[in-house]
Structure 1
Amino acid sequence: MNKTVHIIGSGFSALAASCYMAKAGYKVTVLEKNATVGGRARQLKKDGFTFDIGPTWYWMPDVFERFFGDFGKKPSDYYDLEKLDPAYSVYFKDGTSVNISAVLEEIYELFESEEKGSSEHLQRFLKSAKFNYKTAIEDLVYKPGVSPLELVTPVTITRVTQFFSTISKTVRKKIKSNKLIQILEFPVLFLGAKPTNTPAFYNFMNYADFGLGTWHPRGGMYKVIEAMVSLAKDLGVRFVTNANVEKINVNHKGAVESIIVNSEKVEANLVLSGADYHHTETLLDAQFRQYSEKYWEKKIFAPSSLLFYVGFDKKLKNVNHHTLFFDADFDAHAVEIYDQPAWPKDPLFYASFPSRTDLDCAPEGKEAGIFLIPLAPGIEDTHALRAKYFDIIIERFERLTNQGVKNNIIFKESFCVNDFIKDYNSYKGNAYGMANTLLQTAFLRPKIKSKKVHNLYFTGQLTVPGPGVPPSLISGKIASELILKKHS
């Protein structure tokens, strides 16, 4: 067989897959529709400021180490990592704020000061979370989602009830402080679903938070993309940017025979798509699509986002690298994301100030700020709405952090639902893929291997294992392993 593969997209999952396929001896071509590689993890540079357009959190460092280790490398061969301390700070409704330390003992002390006896509950909770993390990494997340039996191990059998309870129930069973509940429920937001819909087993994200810590690659998350591209090129991967795949042609035998790229036909023996799953299927003739529009409509998608990239002409006070603003009603905001999609009346939001840690992200004496409001995918997106919500969060930001900043804004750029659709062909403009609810976990997610086209595969956040940067790295690995198993 001709060992060539065309990979659509150049996000984390596609880059990971390209490295594994090239290492296995395949001739790999990565086709990226945008002018720069990285998918959602691109970079914005303006007036001496540098922003990560997409992911800003570096969690689960062991997954990155495992990826580079598969090629005899280490993350430190490509970029410098710094552990953040505090990991992040949180503002609450009453105007108070807390810092989440990088030191576990200090987190216990924080909990105990807020609610007597809570530190003991937290220790037991994290013991379970650490065990689940080890189980997930060793037994579950590197599986291809082919069979329900992948979830059946001697360990998971003993913890089956955790798949039918929820994070919310587990946390609230022992912890009564609303502030502590919000802190413990925060990490599962990375999985794209409400804590009330997320299986209790996923408390391993709390171990990722408190146990493994929050890190920052100097220069931003895009440094990880650059590292992966460098590795891929060393392995012989070819990159083509401004390469829009417009059609996937399937022959009478049910196999991809060619793809149309920028109106030109390109012969293809094997195709792996790291682009949006739904969009990729629209590139096929209807009879070769696995999932109907009705299927996608019924799925629970992770939120979209309204993002602002802001240059300030001064250093800001009372913020950390990662700062969460939980001064609004989370449950009400969640309803407006998942249950009754609408622009939120009183949104929670997140802000990142990379120049607090990384002086290269802003000119001297200035601050780079990234603000994010989670939104329902598929809602109306206009410049007027973006402006309205920027004013809302900046007014709250000024009040909570006790400083004026409106008059210190040099510029602001925004990114929202329409941009996710235009730049990434994202289904309904979602930002994080498909939520990891019980009925959308493992073998219940869209399949890596097409059931209708012999040589078409998928990778990324709509398939296994799910949303997030580390899961995307894992998705690229398991997709490549499945291909090699079927085609080598």
Structure 2
Amino acid sequence: MKTTVNIIGSGFSSLAASCYLAQAGFDVTMFEKNKTIGGRARQLVKDGFTFDIGPTWYWMPDVFERFFSDFNKKPSDYYILEKLNPAYSVYFGKDDFITIEDTLEKIILAFEKEEPGSSKKLNKFIKIAKSNYDIAIKDLVYNPGVSPLELITPTTIKKINQFFSTIKKDVRKEFKNERLVKILEFPVLFLGAKPSDTPSFYSFMNYADFGLGTFHPKKGMYQVILAMERLALELGVTIKTEKPVDEIIVESGKATGIISKGKTYKSDIVVSGADYHHTETLLEKPYRQYSENYWTKKTFAPSSLLFYVGFDKKLINVNHHTLFFDVDFDVHAEAIYDTPKWPENPLFYASFPSKTDVNSAPKGKEAGIFLIPLAPGLDDTPELRATYFEKIITRFENLTSQSVKNNIILEESFCINDFIKDYNSYKGNAYGMANTLMQTAFLRPKLKSKLVDSLFFTGQLTVPGPGVPPSLISGKLAANLVIKHHSILV
């Protein structure tokens, strides 16, 4: 008789774990609280427009390839991937922007044009970043965070200084042009912390950006979720939607199932890809590993205020991905990390998938996703959302020299209250727990419960951290621990 596994949630990490466990011969059932699968990576389809609700950046294609190759598949078996050119553009003022194109050679030329002499420095910086990428993504991040010894290898010992310096120090030591500095500091924001709090070793994100490039799956990031769902179903996984989990059953110190809508679903093992903090509230207090005080003291990645906007015309002077860095980043970062409050003048990001993908909007129209990073736990009201939409859309018109307010035919928003309601997200965070030095690898919440036998965790609050590629890896790590745990029992 097969060993049974109940998985809570259906985001990237849960789907990945389900595939690996089903492949290993387990009888796997997933429980998703919402009507559709995908967790934070769901989709909004309305009035002919299609928006990715969550992740919109497809970076580190090699991680996706490695995932599918574990099942003798390729991403191209499920979805069409296009490399974006340009990858993105960054606005610093009215009609003042730098475009990041699709190859390192072109990016080096753009840097040299902006700051003479910077091309040699960028070459050197990216060479180190590539070395870090090869160590981190091909090796280190596939460790389960069980022991500090995982970080000690002949290659990491040579780079020990990079764990005690920061991205901000390294970038500003080499580059003086503030615009180039902002572009180089941007990728680590995906890790959820300020460049001044992110170890230098994480420059591998710059290689992901400049060295590997930015991609777009045709019909959106949700195609990756649908691909993983198809793979999971092919492997025999059962997926149940509209099944919120109310309790994890523990008997004699062992997880033996879950309760959803009053019904008990027994299993030999429970894996949760839901918010880690929320998952522990599904346990009686003696079985919770981490106190409320523990979570309060942790550095969380930002939440977000998102707007999904349909325009009745095509927009000009924007690319598929466009960043708006026309205000002081340090002031905005302070409002996120140091003294949490709504930022007076926020940076924001916009994605216009219909620039690349005809599936995103009706002909002649444009789909726009606008994102403002925020501190988690702030008050979230309709009035605040309206105020901030007006702020950024006014700036957007000015910076890109076009009128758009009267061309809006669809506007939906998603913010802190929605992250809590839809995903049980701690304080409404959007990206999990930041990857600071003291929240890296073995210092993050554990994949395996220390207090409940046969209970495991996966996702962005545990190892290896925030982001889509790390979530895929997290699912594999959790599944490997389950398989190892089961082999010991058997």
1:257 Cα deviation (Å)? Answer: 2.2
- Asked if the contact 1:43–1:50 (Cα under 8 Å) also holds between the matched residues in 2, the reply is yes
Q: Match of 1:388, SS?
A: helix
Partner residue, 2:23: 23
Give 3-state SS (helix, strand or coil) of 1:141's partner.
Answer: helix
Structure-to-structure mapping, 1:71-86, within 5 angstroms: 71-86=71-86
**1:128-277 matches, cutoff 5 A:** 128-251=128-251, 253-277=252-276
SS at match of 2:137: helix
The one-character-per-residue Cα deviations of 1:371-417 (angstroms, maximum 9, x if unpaired) are 00000000000000000000000000000000000000001000000
Q: Which residue of structure 2 lines up, in the alignment, with residue 460 of structure 1? A: 459
Say whether the 8 Å CA contact 2:188–2:195 is kept in structure 1: yes
Deviates more, 1:242-251 or 1:378-387: 242-251
Does the CA contact (< 8 Å) of 1:95 and 1:327 recur in 2?
no
TM-score (norm 2): 0.99
| CA–CA distance in structure 2, aligned partners of residues 339 and 6 of structure 1 | 39
Which amino acid letter does the alignment assign opposite residue 104 of structure 2? Answer: L
Identity rate of aligned residues, in percent? 70
Say whether residues 1:89 and 2:78 are aligned partners.
no
User: How many Å separate the matches in 1 of 2:2 and 2:120?
Assistant: 59
Contact 2:94 2:399 in 1 (8 A): no
Superposition deviation, residue 268 in structure 1: 2.2
1:55 alignment partner, SS class = coil
Q: How far is the alpha carbon of 1:94 from its aligned partner?
A: 6.1
CA displacement 1:209-254 (0-9 Å, x = unmatched):
0000000000000000000000000000000000010011211x21
Of stretches 461-470 and 259-268 in structure 1, the one that deviates more from structure 2 is: 259-268
SS in 2 for 1:76: helix
Q: Supply the AA of the counterpart residue of 1:420.
A: F
Q: Secondary structure at the match of 2:139?
A: helix
The aligned amino acid for 1:388 is T
What residue number does 1:450 align with?
Answer: 449
Deviation sequence 1:331-390 (CA, Å, 0-9, x none): 000000000000000000000000000011100000000000000000000000000000
3-state SS, counterpart of residue 138 of structure 1: coil
**RMSD of aligned alpha carbons:** 0.8
SS of 1:451's equivalent in the other structure is: coil
1:2, 1:269 within 8 Å by CA — same for their partners in 2? no
Which amino acid in 1 is paired with 2:179? K
Deviation at 1:2, TM superposition (A): 5.0
Please tell me the residue identity of whatever aligns with 2:430.
A
**1:84-483 superposed matches below 5 A:** 84-93=84-93, 95-251=95-251, 253-483=252-482
**Structure 1 segments unaligned to the other structure (5+ residues):** none
Q: Find the aligned partners of 1:266 and 1:479 in 2 and give their Cα distance.
A: 21
Distance 1:259 1:76 in 2: 36
- In the TM superposition, what whole-angstrom CA distance separates every residue of 1:137-193 from its partner, at most 9, and x where no partner exists? 232000000000000000000000000000000000010000000000000000000
**Shift in Å, 1:95:** 4.7
Structure 1 stretches (4+) deviating beyond 3 angstroms?
A: none
Partner residue, 1:52: 52
- 1:256 Cα deviation (Å)? 1.2
Say which SS state the counterpart of residue 138 (structure 2) adopts.
Answer: helix
Quote the offset at 1:269 in angstroms: 1.4
CA distance in 2, matches of 1:418, 1:138: 37
Residues matched between the structures, number = 487
Partner letter of residue 221 of structure 2? M
User: What CA deviation, in whole Å up to 9, does each residue of 1:116-141 have, x standing for no partner?
Assistant: 11111100000000000000023200
Counterpart of 1:50, as a letter, is T
CA 1:437–1:175: 2 relative to 1, 3 Å: same
Aligned counterparts of 2:373 and 2:50: Cα–Cα separation in 1: 22
Q: What is the alpha-carbon distance in structure 2 between the residues aligned to residue 397 and residue 186 of structure 1? A: 19
Using the size of structure 1 for normalisation, the TM-score is 0.99
Structure 2 residue runs without a partner (length 5+): none
